[in-house]
Amino acid sequence: MGEKMGTDAAFAEHALDQVRGAGLVATRKMFGEYALYCDGKVVALLCDNQFFLKPLPEVLAMIEAPAYGLPYPGAKPHLLLTGELDDTDLMVRLVRRVAELVPAPKPRKPKAAKKA
């Protein structure tokens, strides 16, 4: 089995460029890979220079021939977008739709101060 190579910054920047019209988009590097956020919600994972979108039923209907893949070992299947990545309009619509459907993250509880 091959070594995982991680996602390079150039791929992450290209993916971000393709979805800029979807809302407030950003990436955050995690464990050599990236999470893609839209309006504060994780909508996709960028792993091994591949784009994995959350596979919501409403989004599946927007893709002609959905393909699936695992962003990392033990992950649930995600939509693997390859040819779609070159279609900026479609990518914006897909990411926007996932952001509309995914619930907002729960607020984090402040960490308790350590006692001396």
Q: Indicate if the pLDDT at residue 75 is higher than 80.
A: yes
Residue 54, number of CB atoms within 10 A of its CB: 20
pTM: 0.85
Return the CATH number of 9-101, one of 2.60.120.10, 3.40.50.800, 3.30.930.10, 3.30.1460.30: 3.30.1460.30
CA angle 58, 63, 66 (to 5 degrees): 100
Domain boundaries, the chain: 9-101
pLDDT band at 51 (very low <50, low <70, confident <90, very high): very high
Q: Indicate if the pLDDT at residue 5 is higher than 60.
A: yes
The pLDDT score that the predictor gives to residue 107 is 77
Contact 92, 99 (CB under 8 A): no
Q: Indicate if the pLDDT at residue 49 is higher than 90.
A: yes
> Could you tell me what percent of the chain has a pLDDT over 70?
90
Residue whose C-alpha is closest to residue 45's, from 63, 24, 67, 30 = 30
Span 16-45, pLDDT tens digits: 999 999 999 999 998 889 999 999 999 999
**Mean pLDDT across the chain, nearest whole number?**
89
Residue 50 falls in which region: left (phi positive, over 0), alpha (psi -120 to 50) or beta? beta
